[in-house]
Structure 1
């Protein structure tokens, strides 16, 4: 049964309104994923077949699509960003509203979207305060091994990274990545559903989508000068396969 949804978040960030505007409209993979840049006008073409319904740089940007392609559970989707200056423009206040229509499995789909929102917006703030404007190589995959759908899958992922079950946000860790390579990182986000690792040159995001019946996924935002997105995808996919190969 179709039903409307709305997810609202408000936050402040140590970035100018212009920097926030660039991050949410430039189409790079710095904090979410690469996407088509919107036409800079009301009525213009937006990403994923959407239409720009508000365009007022750097204050308001809205895009909406009525027929969502490739997402069977959703028939309409709207993203609405309102950005206001704080402290003379040195900081910004952001109001983000994600709304639309879910057509099936409403409670599960809404819960997933609601929790993903917090993780994505956290990654936006990490990008703005640490990597804004830097070239990025992006890698992602959502189709982890079938075994990663199990109830205990994300616990296994955390342990494979070398994290204790009680390793909390803010902890500095020596993590274990692809091919057993160790790297220094900060756990910048952690709850039962997501793990965020930040290094000097990258944001590594792990998605416990098993909680909603899907495989675990991984994204890497790599800002190193010699970053190779395809190599990162291959390496981390192999790492995740290895976690569930036993």
Structure 2
């Protein structure tokens, strides 16, 4: 039986309300995944029935509804905190059709990682053109110990924390030098000079280990990067 859920967060983001508004409305590919919304060039309200609130740079609400009472709502409220930071109040509400506890746990943990990535994007890459690439791990990456294998392949030592540096060779890309900006049992976030590299331990929630990266280099080749990271991820779990 379907059951409702609600996830609430309040985070401080290093940036202005205008930068954060741009990130949550038009630039989601820079920190989460590309939005299906087509934002007009002048930044006016999109012509979309799923937009419930559009009040730049303060409030954005996206409400999606379906049959049998299904809904999925995302809401942001942005308020300036001082000259260089703002508070983002976020609510995600909807319906899970089955496996409620596991789905809620996964959605809650993903929320924390995505909101962290929002802060990283606004602080280091706001407004820069982005190439979004993603790769899905093979079936072997669904194993309980898969994230340990991933961390080992990334050169992340036991006990590593945010702020530590790693170096990893990725065939087709070269040597990647990065700072760990997020690490726990489920996710790894790496930041380079021109990228946010994100690894998702969805094996904990019934899926595989996946990667989704946000590339900000002007010459980024999305197809080549996708192929390289897909091959690397497949090699980790061969």
**TM-score, normalised to structure 1's length?**
0.89
| Change beyond 3 A, Cα 1:164–1:179 | farther
- Indicate the residue corresponding to 1:207 in structure 2: 200
How far the C-alpha of 1:27 sits from its partner, in A, is 4.4
* Conserved 8 A contact 2:8-2:92: yes
**Does residue 1:33 correspond to 2:33, yes or no?**
yes
Cα deviation code 1:48-90 (max 9, x no counterpart): xx6111111111110111129xxxxx93210000011122x53
Residue correspondences, number: 233
Distance 1:164 1:180, change over 3 A: farther
Q: Which of the pair has the greater relative contact order for Cα pairs under 8 Å at 6+ separation?
A: 2
Cα distance in 1, alignment partners of residues 187 and 171 from structure 2: 19
Query: Structure 1 38/183 Cα, relative in aligned 2: closer, same or farther at 3 Å?
Result: closer
| 2:56 aligned residue | 57
- Residue 158 of structure 2 corresponds to 165
Q: Distance in 2 between matches of 1:210 and 1:130?
A: 30
| Cα distance in 2 for residues equivalent to 1:146 and 1:183 | 26
Query: Any stretches of 5+ residues in structure 2 without a counterpart?
Result: none
Tell me the residue number matched to 1:71.
none
Tell me the residue number matched to 1:91. 85
Moved runs in structure 1, 4+ residues, more than 3 A?
38-42, 178-181
1:145-193 Cα deviation digits (max 9, x unpaired): 0000001111101101111122211102223334694321100000010
SS of equivalent to 1:29: helix
What secondary structure is seen at the aligned counterpart in 1 of 2:110? Answer: helix
Distance 1:154 1:189 in 2: 14
Which whole-Å deviations, capped at 9, do the CAs of 1:14-34 have from their partners, x for residues lacking one? 211011100011145111111
Q: CA deviation at 1:38?
A: 5.5
Where in structure 1 are there 5+ consecutive unaligned residues?
69-73
Contact kept? 2:180, 2:190, Cα under 8 Å: yes
CA distance, structure 2, for counterparts of residue 108 and residue 63 of structure 1? 24
- Mapping 1:122-133, distance limit 5 Å: 122-133=116-127
